[in-house]
Amino acid sequence: MAEQYAKGDTVRAIKAAGEPSRPMRLPLPNGLLPKDSNHLYVTVADGSNHTYKIACSPKGWKKITLGRGWQRFYHEYKLQPSNILLFKHKGRDDFSVRIFQSPGVERTYDVSGDDSGDVTPPRVPRNRTPATQAPRRRLGCINVPRSAAAAEVEQTFQSEHPFFIMHITKRLLGIHFLPNVPHFGDDVNDDVMVTLTSGEISVRAVYARYVGQRRRNCGSISQGWAKFLTKCNITVPKLAVFEISRTQPDVQLLVQFVDFE
């Protein structure tokens, strides 16, 4: 169930994990997410700050169905159908989640292969000074791959940086810019210099965010993109993995090109 809320309230949803083969539908108003958002980010309250990107779509006005990424989350946290999940909306498309074996008894969060046990959450002294935490940085893939080949790369690619995957198609090889690049983060300006790096090759380019609310989460890379492809000798379609290794004072992208069938 979802709590009734007014503007400014924290939105929570409580839901049984259910069978992994069945769709997970969260009782949340689909207007809760940013307009045109097709994914959400879920972080388990285990202290690891490991964030999962999960595709989602509206189901009517009061439900959101989770898609690609949900089964991975389910299996890595060894969920059981009877487990209770408490989702808490943290803003925009960010959620934290706590996992309970039974009412009031929270699970240990072990994803290493050992069996999960029960643990009652400890009481934290009210007069304890909270530790200063660095701003959380999203990890994993920040866009939703649109093909089986890209999805396979998403599942197997490992990086300490957030990354996104794009098809460098025959059409894109013939133009001087790269369109529909996901925006790099809330701390990044709408127009920034970008350093594209692949091995020993490094080229400066320009990123410009699209105007208008509908396409606000994307932009394009130009003024250097075509030169970068030429220097990397990219003449046939490839998958490209872009690791966002730095966003300040400018953006640095580490690029790997991958063959696909």
How confident is residue 242, by pLDDT bands cut at 50, 70 and 90? very high
Per-residue confidence (pLDDT) for residue 120, from 0 to 100? 39
Q: What is the pLDDT of residues 165-196, one digit of tens each?
A: 888 888 889 899 999 898 888 788 888 999 99
Domains of the chain: residue spans and CATH = 12-100 (2.40.330.10), 148-258 (2.40.330.10)
Per-residue confidence (pLDDT) for residue 161, from 0 to 100? 87
The phi, psi pair for 227, rounded to 5°, reads -65, -40
Given a contact cutoff of 8 angstroms between Cβ atoms, the answer to whether 97 and 44 are in contact is yes
Given a contact cutoff of 8 angstroms between Cβ atoms, the answer to whether 99 and 93 are in contact is no
Q: Is-above-0.75 flag for pTM? A: no
Q: What is the sign of the dihedral through the CA atoms of 261, 144, 240 and 238?
A: positive
Residue given tokens 């992994």 in the structure block: 20
Given a contact cutoff of 8 angstroms between Cβ atoms, the answer to whether 227 and 234 are in contact is no
- Tokens coding 211: 């105007």
Given a contact cutoff of 8 angstroms between Cβ atoms, the answer to whether 181 and 219 are in contact is yes
Q: What is the pLDDT of residues 80-138, one digit of tens each?
A: 888 888 888 888 888 888 888 765 566 665 544 433 344 334 333 444 444 444 444 45
Q: What is the mean pLDDT of residues 226-233?
A: 94
